[in-house]
Amino acid sequence: MASTVTTEPSQHPAAAPRPGYGQLLRTRGAWTFLLPGFAARQPFAMLTISIVLLVQHTTGSYGAAGAAAAVTGVSMALFAPYSGRLADRHGQRAVLVPGVLVHTLSGLALTALALAHAPLWALFAAAVPTGASVPQIGPMVRARWGARLQDSPLMSTAAAFESVTDELTFVFGPLLATALCTTVAPAAGLVTEAALTLAGGLLFAARKSTQPQVTGTGHARVRHASALRVPGVRVLAVAFLGIGSVFGGMQVSLAAFTESIGEPGLNGVLYGTFAAGNMLSGIVCGALAWKAAPHRRLLVGYAALALTASALWTSHSVLVLAGLGLLVGMCIAPALITGYTLVESLVPAGARTEAFTWLTGAVALGQAAAVTVAGQLEDRLWGGAGFLVPMAGTVLALVTLLALRSRLVTRPRNRTVARGVGHRVPVTVD
């Protein structure tokens, strides 16, 4: 005689609406942090290009401009994870308010020093606090989504939505910064970036009700363990370094290319095309119901990114460069979205803000290295040599992903294991 024991509800979930953007945006309280979050992250897309254009104008060297921007990026990469850890421990508002004040003041100091033709070491000295205090709005918004959605299927949609939002800022940010620097004044981009950071950051910090709860003292061990100790996070950081090399290499090389043809105003248009491809593919990724495992999607998407980025240096016309830039942008979003999605399954909730900032910092570090190397290549070699940087960065990162892909595989959280952790799934007994 067989007796049947009822299985857990999770084994046979009730039919639910297909996760999508509409359902995501109906999440209670979402708009209270989405709108100020969008305003607060807009300046981030303006920072590097504003520094490059200002310092190149005052020094006449793309190498010096790239180096100043690189110091900012390295500083941000080093301090961003610490900022994320502090936000996990003490709350986002406690980190944001002093951070935006420091960033505004140091950004204005960097502007003044550049206009005064200060030596390069002085620009570096001002660039360090400017980068270290960049508000980590994107990771903080993602952490708020995580707190709202918990382990909902909508988390993947939220990751896609945030990637689209990031890229929307990279459509408008470089366009705005380039327009200000080329039509108003070379310093206008950086001054505007500082002002928007102050206003947007304080507005976002004021939304205290939606920030993740600070973990209590009973979870001190979880809070104090670095997210970088998770092997998968280290692998993702390498992948994001490669993505940063694309951003940095494109910014310097596009600026050099458009100046060489006498059309510096096209710089923002070409970079905007690149970012638009990223945004459009992000929208599509978030709307699809994926069957492939996230780590497999990351490998396929990253291979496509490395392939398209490797063709950039061959372009010699605006139309060809715009087309290739669009394709490269379309390949970046799937990699970013999948990487952030993997964090949700690899990292405990109490350390996710820090994990997100490690990835954001990796992008900044890759961008910093790329603008430095690309600037030197543009100064010393042929026009367009800077496009070799995205090729090298993505190919090396792809090799690392392939070699360490097993570290990105996550175990199902509700599966019964041999050691008896968790509850066993009841079965039919004869």
| pLDDT band, residue 317 (cuts 50/70/90) | confident
Is there a contact between 129 and 75 (Cβ–Cβ < 8 Å)? yes
pLDDT recorded at residue 129: 92
Q: Does 293 have pLDDT greater than 90?
A: no
Q: Select from 285, 284, 250, 283 the least CA-distant residue to 269.
A: 250
In DSSP terms, 3 is beta-bridged to 429
Q: What is the mean pLDDT of residues 247-260?
A: 80
Percent of the chain with pLDDT over 70: 82
Closest CA to 28 of 177, 189, 268, 209: 209
DSSP 399: H
Read off the pLDDT band of 190 (50, 70, 90).
very high
pLDDT of residue 276: 78
Band of pLDDT at residue 375, cut at 50, 70 and 90: confident
**CA separation for the pair 285, 331 (Å, rounded):** 11
What pLDDT sits at residue 110? Answer: 93
- 314 secondary structure, DSSP code: G
Q: Which amino acid is at 127?
A: A
Report the pLDDT value the prediction gives residue 15, as an integer from 0 to 100.
39
423, 8 Cβ separation under 8 angstroms: yes
Is the predicted pLDDT of residue 312 greater than 60, yes or no? Answer: yes
The mean per-residue pLDDT over the stretch 400-424 comes to 58
Question: Which position has the higher pLDDT, 291 or 387?
Answer: 387
The predicted pLDDT at position 108 comes to 94
Task: Please tell me whether residue 429 adopts helix, strand or coil conformation.
Answer: strand
Please give the pLDDT value at position 9: 43
The stretch 247-252 carries a mean pLDDT of 82
227 is written with which tokens? 């997210």
Categorize the per-residue pLDDT at 290 as very low, low, confident or very high, splitting at 50, 70 and 90.
low
Q: Is the pLDDT of residue 11 over 60?
A: no
Other CB atoms within a 10 A radius of the CB of residue 160 amount to 27
Q: Which residues sit opposite 429 in a β-bridge?
A: 3
Q: What are phi and psi of 220, to 5 degrees?
A: -60, -35
- CA 168, 197, 208 angle in degrees (round to 5)? 90
Q: What is the reported pLDDT for 187?
A: 92
Q: What angle do CA 196, 199, 204 make, to 5 degrees?
A: 110
Euclidean distance between the first and final Cα of the chain, in Å? 6
pLDDT more than 90, % of the chain? 10
Distance CA 69, CA 91 (A): 29
36-78: pLDDT as tens digits: 888 778 777 788 889 988 998 898 887 788 788 888 878 887 8
Mean pLDDT taken over the chain: 77
Please, which residues have CB within 8 angstroms of residue 198's CB and are 6 or more apart in sequence? 100, 101, 103, 104
Contact criterion met (CB below 8 Å) for 354 and 84: yes
- What mean pLDDT comes out for the span 22-46? 80
**Mean pLDDT computed over 315-340:** 83
pLDDT at 196 over 50: yes
d(CA 96, CA 87): 8
Using the predicted structure, report yes or no on whether residue 341 has a pLDDT greater than 90.
no
Give yes or no for residue 417 having a pLDDT over 60. Answer: no
What digits encode the pLDDT tens for the residues 264-279?
A: 667 767 877 887 787 7
From 314, 258, 245, select the one nearest 73 (Cα to Cα): 245
pLDDT tier at 287, thresholds 50, 70, 90:
low
pLDDT: which is higher, 323 or 5: 323
Query: Is 90 exceeded by the pLDDT of residue 113?
Result: yes
Per-residue pLDDT at 145 exceeds 60: yes
CA distance 72 to 210: 30
pLDDT-derived band at 171 (thresholds 50, 70, 90) equals low
